[in-house]
């Protein structure tokens, strides 16, 4: 996995998709974002714009905002 850093606090990593469709989140990315084993992440996708993984917990916060 390669990482390029263009600006402080901005990161890009490359990952390989396995035959099972799985990816490994790079260790440095897990450390930067505090991702732990068992955490649930939300993946957002748009056919034209691509995919994004918002910060963990953001989906929970959005749901609380909607339903409370």
Mean pLDDT of 43-62: 85
Q: What is the mean pLDDT of residues 3-24?
A: 83
- How far apart are the C-alpha atoms of 64 and 28, rounded to whole Å? 30
For residue 13, give the H/E element and its range: strand 12-13
DSSP label at residue 58: H
pLDDT confidence band for 10 (50 / 70 / 90): confident
Pairing state between β 50-52 and 3-4: unpaired
pLDDT of the residue at 1: 47
Predicted TM-score (pTM) of this structure: 0.67
When pLDDT is averaged across residues 42-65 and rounded to a whole number, the result is 85
- Residue 14 is predicted with a pLDDT of 92
What is the CA 20 to chain-centroid distance, rounded? 18
């Amino acid at each position: 996995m390669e990482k390029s850093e263009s600006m402080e606090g901005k990161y890009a990593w490359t990952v390989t998709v396995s035959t099972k469709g799985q990816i490994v989140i790079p260790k440095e990315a897990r450390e930067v974002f505090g991702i732990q084993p068992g955490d649930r992440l939300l993946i957002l996708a748009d056919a034209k714009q691509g995919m994004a993984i918002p910060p963990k917990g953001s989906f929970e916060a959005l749901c609380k905002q909607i339903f409370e």
